[in-house]
Amino acid sequence: MSPDEARRRPPTAQQFVLGELRRAITTGRLRPGAPIRQDALAEELQVSRVPLREALKTLQGEGLVTYEAHRGYFVETLSLDDLREVYRIRELLEEEAVRRAVPRLTDDDLARLEAAQDDVERAAAAGDVAAMAAANRAFHMMLFDCSGMPRLVRLIRTLWDSTDAYRSMYYGEPGNRERVIKEHRATLDALRRRSADDAVATLDVHRAHAVTALAPLLDT
Amino acid sequence: MSPDEARRRPPTAQQFVLGELRRAITTGRLRPGAPIRQDALAEELQVSRVPLREALKTLQGEGLVTYEAHRGYFVETLSLDDLREVYRIRELLEEEAVRRAVPRLTDDDLARLEAAQDDVERAAAAGDVAAMAAANRAFHMMLFDCSGMPRLVRLIRTLWDSTDAYRSMYYGEPGNRERVIKEHRATLDALRRRSADDAVATLDVHRAHAVTALAPLLDT
DNA sequence: TCTCCGTATTTTGGATCCAATATTGAAAAT
DNA sequence: ATTTTCAATATTGGATCCAAAATACGGAGA
């Protein structure tokens, strides 16, 4: 493990706060719908409100929080419909990314994808949910990056961010962890065969499973 | 014309600045690639750097500016490839929006769309490029809104923002203005017939024309 | 002349303070 | 009891000031 992985505090306070806020929201420490009290949060994070507000603006752009002038920021609530909408949009965008990526895949890319998959499996074996979520994300983003469409990838990444909280729940179930591994292997196989259709199909299944697994958790 | 349309300064400085910055970037007053000097801009707009920086964060989220820690913000440069990428993503997302919207269209929605189209034609007749760009945007967003997918619409809106500068160029040509009107009428016709396929097809043509018209302007 | 290094200047990042707006709560009127 | 009004309080918005980093500049050395 490289020494850089000992979590270095980012070079600016806003980036540090951004990371902390993301975690707080996606782990549910900041409840959906709750107002974000800047003074309290700033004190808790040991920064002033200025970098905090800049981080909040970023999150607003990503749809994790909402903003009303003179009333402040609120944690976005994700309804089941919202989740379905996000996954539908992901389906559209990720299909495009994969179709563009497949013909451009080098052997080197494939090797890196396989290494990424190894990371996922290791994390799963260790039962480390957070590590598995991170590795899973890395695997997918690596594939999307091969599309050569940076803006598309950025959009997809933002959509992933907005549902991170729920993805962690998903990986909490050992059965789901098993399934994810199998699905990734199917995707890798399709990629090796350079079959965009198959790769898209396996990813669609992958996503659909996640939605059906998460739906019951969102009926509250 | 309602009294509210006499441009009211927004309720917060950041919103005011956001609007001004958008205009400055999309009209090219701030050149692509140019660094954004916060002190100078803040003074010019008669605000402090705090609301300016929050507006810049918003624009960063929309992809109109880039940011590097300790180096600041820069106006995003849009290459021809970038433009094509944005339009391709729009194609994917707008198709989805239209397909969802068509079965939900009420007669009332259609009437409003026709009214919006009248606005476009009036602006075109008056040769008012800015008004036409605004009316055109309103027409399309009204249609997308009928999809009932707020996140999707938000994404599309952001994509429109990121190419606003070039859209104005497009409307500068009287021939293009004529064409846009015809294309809108074709779309409206398809919507009246509740034909999603035809509506999508006309919009695809609409977009393709814009790209081919703009391509020569971006070879610099 | 070119490169390297150190200092001066510019520019961004962040903290604190004050102003403006919204929210809360209690008292008064119906 | 219910509603309205108004003041007290809490919270956000913004300006100013200082710190930290990056950039520009100029001189020393090869």
pLDDT digits (tens, 9 = 90+) for B25-49: 988 899 999 999 999 999 999 999 9
Q: Cβ–Cβ contacts within 10 Å for residue B85, how many?
A: 20
Interface-testing mutation among B8, B52, B53, with chain A (most A C-beta atoms within 10 A): B53
Distance from CA of B23 to the nearest CA of A (A): 19
How far is it, in rounded angstroms, from Cα A5 to Cα A180? 25
Q: Which of B83, B151, B155 to mutate to test the interface with A (most CBs of A within 10 A)?
A: B151
Q: How far apart are CA B127 and CA B155, in angstroms?
A: 30
Q: What pLDDT, on a 0 to 100 scale, did the predictor assign at position B176?
A: 87
A53 vs B27, more confident? A53
Query: Cβ–Cβ of B85/A152 closer than 8 Å?
Result: yes
* All protein residues with a CB under 7 A from any atom of strand D: A 11, 35-39, 49-50, 53, 67, 69-73; B 12-14, 47-51, 54, 70-71
In this prediction, residue B220 has a pLDDT band, given cuts at 50, 70 and 90, of: low
Return the number of other C-beta atoms located less than 10 Å from residue A172's C-beta: 12
Mean pLDDT, all residues of chain A: 91
- DSSP secondary structure, A91-109, as one string: HHHHHHHHHHHGGG--HHH
The architecture CATH gives domain B80-217? Up-down Bundle (1.20)
Q: Can you tell me the mean pLDDT for A50-76? A: 96
Contacting residues for B197 by C-beta, under 8 A, at least 6 apart: none
Say what the pTM is.
Answer: 0.89
* Closest alpha carbon to A165 in A52, A45, A76, A67: A76
In the predicted structure, residue B127 carries a pLDDT above the cut 70 = yes
Domain ranges of chain B: 3-75, 80-217
Return the closest nucleotide (C1') to the Cα of B42. D15
Which nucleotides of chain D are near protein (any atom < 7 Å from a CB)?
11-17, 21-23
Whether A61 sits inside 8 A of B57 (CB atoms) is: yes
Provide the token pair at B110: 């259609």
Average pLDDT of chain B, as a whole number: 91
Confidence of residue A11 (pLDDT cuts 50, 70, 90): confident
- How far are the Cα atoms of A83, A85, B100, B138, B168 from residue B150, in angstroms, in the given order? 12, 9, 12, 15, 26
Q: Where are the alpha helices (DSSP H) in B10-64?
A: 13-26, 38-45, 49-62
Amino acid symbol at B66: T
In the block, residue with structure tokens 């800015």:
B130
Residue A7 has pLDDT above 90, yes or no: no
Higher pLDDT, B6 or B63: B63
Of B54, B82, B151, the CB nearest to A54: B54
CATH code: domain A3-75 is 1.10.10.10
CA A36 to C1' D9, whole Å: 18
- pLDDT score for A4: 37
> Band of the pLDDT at B162, cuts 50, 70, 90?
confident
The pLDDT tens digits of the residues spanning A160-183 come to 988 887 887 788 888 888 999 999
Task: Name the DSSP letter for residue B74.
Answer: E
Lookup: nucleotide whose C1' is closest to B70 CA: C12
- A12–B70 C-beta distance less than 8 A: yes
